[in-house]
Structure 1
Amino acid sequence: MFARFATARKAVTRIVATKLLALALLGLVAACDTTTMVGGGPTINPSKPVRVALLVPKGSGQGGDAILAQSLENAARLAIADLQNVQIDLRVYDTKGNAATAATVATQAADEGAQIILGPVYAEAANAAGLAVAGRQINVLSFSNNTSIAGGNVFVLGPTFLNTAQRLSTFAARQGKRNVVVIHSTNVAGQAGKAAIEQALAHAGLNEAGAVGHALSQQGVIASIPAIRDTVAATGADSIFLTATTAGALPLFSQLLPEAGVSPTTVQYIGLTRWDVPTQTLALPGVQGGWFAMPDPVMSDQFRSRYATAYGGAPHPIGGLAYDGIAAIGALVGAGKSNALTSAALTQNAGFKGVGGIFRLRSDGTNERGLAVAMIQNKQVVVIDPAPASFSGAGF
C-alpha cells in the first residue's frame, strides 16, 4: 500500500529491464512455449486458457494480511466465474508480504508460464516483482496505490491521491469555488497528498490560497488551528482541502476548526480520503456538508452483496481490486486479440468496468477511476454528483 516506498524505481527498471531483455534474446531466460514476447507484453492465443499469477501477502505472520490474501483470491475467483467465453488459469503465490519473496515467486510464476501478474499489495513487493519479470515482458497489475512504483511493466490498481483530488477539484470549480487552503500532515503520505491536491487545483483553474502543514499528532493538529484560521481569513478562502483521515486527524479538525471560527457553513470542507468509514464519522458536527469522493455506491453495494452470498462475509476494503484486475484481463482476452495483455491493450482509453465503476490504466502506470462526489448531510452520505458511466463524461 502507500506507506511503503520504492527508491528510484523507473531508472532502475530501465537498467534491469535492458539487461534481462538482452538475456532473453539470447535464449538464457526461459519462456512458456505457448507465449511469444513482443514489445510491452506477450502475445497469446485467446482461445486457450490465460495463465494469471495472483500474488497475495499470505504467510507474513500478520493476521490482517491473511484475511486480505483470502479476500483477494475470493474476489478474483468471483470475477472469473462472471467471465463469458474466456478461460483463466489462476495460480496463487504467497509473497509473505515482503519484497524478496515477491521477486522470487514472480520469477517462479514466469517460469511456470504466467502471462500476466495480478498483485502484490505492498509497494516494495510490487516493485520487486515488476523488476524480476521486466525482461520477460510480463506486465504486473499491482494492488498498490503508490504511484512512485508505477511505470515500465508495473501498473497500480489502487485509488490514487491525484485521481481523487482531480475529481473533487473539478467539481469544486463547477460549483463556483475559487480559493482553496490546503491542510496536510507533514509525513510522507501527507506530503504526497498535498502535491496531488496542488496539481489538481492548478488543473481545475483553482487558486491555492495557502497551505498549512501539521504534525500527525494531537499536539500538531492543535498547534495548526490558529494558522489555518488566519490563512482562511487573510485570503478569503472559500474552501479547505484536507488530507486528514478518519483514523487520524479528521475527528479533531472537525471539532477544533468550527470552534476557531472556520465554519463548515461558510467554508467548504473537502476531504482527500473517504469520510464515510467508519460510519461513526458521519455524526461529527464538523463534517456536515463536507465533500469527499467515493466509488460508485450502487456498483460497490452490488459487489459486496454478491461477495457475501458467495463467501458468507464482507470483502476486505481493497479486495475488489482483484476483481477489477480479472475483469480487465477478461475483457481484453474476450475481444479475441493476441495482443490482449500488452501495455497498449491494457491502457485502452475506453477503460473497463470494475466493482466500483469505470476505471482505466494510464501509460505511466497509474490509473484513473470514475468516482462519485458525496456530501455528509444530516449524518448521512448523499451523492451530489454521480460517478460517470464512461470516460467521455464530465471531468474527463
Structure 2
Amino acid sequence: MIENCTPAAGKTRVGAALGALGAALVLSACTASAPSAPIQTVPDRPVVGAPPTPATLPVELADRGYTPAFLEGEPDLVRVALLLPFSASSSAARNEAAQLLRAAELAVFERGGSNLVLLPKDTAGDPATARTAAQSAISDGADLIIGPLFQDAVAEAGRAARDAGVPMLSLSSSSAVAGDGVYQLSFPPDEEVRRVTEYVGALGATRFAFIGPASAYGQVTQAAYAETIEDLLGDFPLPETVMLEEPVSDEEDAETVMVERTFDTGLVASQFYDGGVSAMTEAAARLATVGVEELDPAQAAVMSGANWAPSPGSAFQVVLLPEGGDQLRMLAPVLLYQDIDPLLVKFVGTGQWLDNSLAREPALAHGYFAGPDPEARTRFEQVFEEYYGATPSRLAGLGYDAASLAALLAEGGYGADRLTGADGFVGVDGLFRFRADGTIERGLAVYTVRGGGFRVLDPAPERFGPAEMSDDDMSGADMMDKPVSEPAF
C-alpha cells in the first residue's frame, strides 16, 4: 500500500523547483519563462470491450517501403519500427517483448491516426541481429525506431539508425548508448540516486557512505551518488568540527564531558562486494571501521526513523544500498549486525525498493528511496487489464509511452527540437524529458518504508524547471506508473 504523507514544508531543492504531476500523456508547447499546461489524452476510466485489432504488421515483414493493403492510398504514411527480442533464448525476455508489443498496440489503438503503423522486428536478444533488424526497419521506411531492450543491442542498432538519420527511442537503462539521435526511454538508476540524495541533503546530511554490488549497476549508482554529493557540497568539502557529549569512562553512571571532534564530509566511504551474505558481511565490517556511533537504550526508546535528523556524531549519516529483492533482504540486516544503526544512519535506496515483498523488512523501516509516482500508472494498468486480461509488466509502460509519443508527434515529425522539448512528457511512469545528449530526466517521488507499506514523503514534480538546452528547444510533450520491483534491462 502506498500513502501520501507529504509534509507542508521541507521540500527538497528538486521538489521545490518542480512539484507533482498527474497521470496523462500530453503534447504541449511552451516558452522558456512560462511552461504550458499539459493536455490530458489518456482515458479517464478503463475502456471496456473487445481487444483492439493489432495495429502492427507481421514480425517477419522485410519488404522495402512496404505499405499494407488497408493503408493503400493513405497520404503521409508514418512507419514506426519496434525492435524487441521476440525469439530470445530467455523466456523472461520473450515475455517482456510480448508485453511491450501489446502495450504499444494499445497506445496506437487509442491515439494513433489512420496513417500510423507499427513494424515489429525481432532482435532475438542478440546485438548483431538487432543491427540487421534496424537496417530492415530502415529499408521498410521507418520514420522512428522504438527499442531495442538490451544495451549491446541498442549500441549496434543505434549505429544503423544514426547512419540513416532515423531517431531511436532506446528501452535500455544504460545512458552509455544514448546520444546523436538515440534517446533513452527507460529507468536509469542514476536519476533515482540523485533524487533521494538531494532529499537527504536538503535535510542537512553532509556525510555519506555507499555499500553495493561490484556489478555494472553498482558502479553506475556509486558514480551517480558521488557526483550528486559533489554537486551538493562542492568538489572539496570541508571537514566539520562539532562539540559532542561523551562519557569519561565506560561505566553506566559515568560523568560526561564536552569533546571536540572533527569529521570528514562528502562521500566518506564506498564498499563493494561480489557474492552473497558472507561478502556483504565483510563489506559491512569494513564500512563500520569508518566509525560507528553508539546509541544507548534510553536514547533509542525515544527515537524512531520517522523523526530522523542527521546525527552530528556519526562518521556517516546516510548510506546508499542499491539493491532489491532477496539481495536487499540480506544486505540491510547485515548492516545492523555491524552496529550501523538506522536510527542514526539513514538507509536510502533506488526504485528497486518499491517492491511489496520488502515493505515489512524491519531493517528497512523508515528508509528512503526514489521512484515513480504511483498515481500516474493506474489508468494504464486498468485499460491494459480490460483489454488483455492480465496485469502489465513493469516495463510494459515503456512500450505504451514510446508508441504514444510516436502517435502524438507523428504529424510534425521526430526531429530533435520536438523530442527534447523543455516541457517534457507525462507518461505511464510520470514526468520525463529527453536531454540534448539523449539521456532521460525523470520526475520522481521520494518514499519511505513505514507500517508495512510505502508512503510518499515528497511527491513527483508537476513540471520541470529550466532545461539545460538551447534556446531553440522550446516545444515539448507529456505521457501516462507502478512500483519498480526489479532492475530495468
- TM-score, with length taken from structure 1: 0.82
Q: Could you say which residue in structure 1 is the equivalent of 2:193?
A: 165
Structure with bigger gyration radius: 2
SS at match of 1:79: helix
Aligned match of 1:276: 354
d(CA) in 1 for partners of 2:390, 2:66: 40
* Structural mapping, 1:121-140, within 5 Å: 121-140=149-168
Amino acid at match of 2:341: S
Alpha-carbon displacement from aligned partner over 1:192-225 (angstroms, at most 9, x marks no partner)? 2211111122223382122122223222101112
**Secondary structure at 1:315's aligned position in 2?**
coil
Structure 2 residue 396 is the aligned partner of structure 1 residue 319 = yes
Q: For 1:245 and 1:134, how far apart are their aligned partners in 2?
A: 35
CA contact (8 A) 2:169 2:185 kept: yes
* Aligned with residue 455 of structure 2, among 382, 385, 390: 382
Pairwise mapping of residues 1-396 of structure 1 onto structure 2 (< 5 A)? Answer: 48-83=76-111, 87-205=115-233, 207-233=266-292, 236-248=315-327, 250-277=328-355, 279-333=356-410, 336-337=411-412, 340-392=413-465
Counterpart contact for 2:211–2:284, Cα < 8 Å: no
Aligned-residue identity in percent = 27
CA distance in 2, matches of 1:50, 1:220: 53
Contact 1:331–1:352 (CA under 8 A) maintained in structure 2: no
Counterpart contact for 2:198–2:232, Cα < 8 Å = yes
Q: State the one-letter code of the partner of 1:65.
A: A
Q: Deviations over 1:32-74 (max 9, x none)?
A: 699xxxxxxxxxxx97342100111111132212211111011
CA shift in 2, pair 1:218/1:258, >3 Å: closer
> How far, CA to CA, are the matches of 1:33 and 1:136 in structure 2?
18
Q: Is the 8 A contact 2:82 2:121 kept in 1?
A: yes
Letter in 2 for 1:241: L
Cα deviation code 1:334-369 (max 9, x no counterpart): xx43xx312232111111111011111112121011
- Measured after TM superposition, the shift of residue 133 of structure 1 is 2.5
Q: 1:47 to 1:208 in 2, by over 3 A?
A: farther
SS at match of 2:353: coil
Runs of 4 or more above 3 Å deviation: 30-34, 46-49, 84-87
Q: Secondary structure at the match of 1:61?
A: coil
Query: Is the partner of 2:354 in helix, strand or coil?
Result: coil
Report the AA paired with residue 369 of structure 1: R
Look up the SS of the partner of 1:51 in the other structure.
strand
- CA deviations 1:12-45 (Å, max 9, x no partner) are xxxxxxxxxxxxxxxxxx99699xxxxxxxxxxx
Cα distance in 2 between the residues matched to 1:106 and 1:232: 53
Report the 3-state secondary structure (helix = DSSP H, G, I; strand = E; otherwise coil) of the residue aligned with 1:173: helix
In 2, the alpha carbon distance for the partners of 1:47 and 1:83 equals 18
- Tell me, in whole angstroms, the C-alpha distance in 1 between the residues paired with 2:64 and 2:191: 36
CA–CA distance in 2 between the matches of 1:388 and 1:83? 25
Residues 55, 93 of structure 1: 8 Å contact kept: yes
Cα deviation, residue 87, structure 1 = 4.3
- Greater helix share, 1 or 2? 1
Name which structure has the greater RCO, CA cutoff 8 Å, separation 6+: 2
| Whole-Å separation in 2 of the counterparts to 1:301 and 1:83 | 18
Question: 2: CA distance between counterparts of 1:124 and 1:61?
Answer: 16
Deviation at 1:276, TM superposition (A): 2.6
Find the aligned partners of 1:313 and 1:94 in 2 and give their Cα distance.
Answer: 23
Deviation at 1:187, TM superposition (A): 2.2
Task: Return the offset for 1:232.
Answer: 4.6
Match of 1:40 in 2: none
Aligned residue for 2:426, secondary structure, equals strand
Distance 1:201 1:342, change over 3 A: same
Secondary structure of 1:184's counterpart equals strand
Q: Counterparts of 2:446 and 2:213 in 1: how far apart (Å)?
A: 23
Tell me which amino acid in the other structure corresponds to 2:325.
T
Query: 5+ residue gaps in structure 2?
Result: 1-62, 68-73, 235-265, 294-313, 467-489
Count of residues paired in the alignment: 347
Q: Is the Cα contact below 8 Å between 1:127 and 1:154 reproduced in 2?
A: no
Preserved contact between residue 52 and residue 117 of structure 1 (Cα < 8 Å): yes
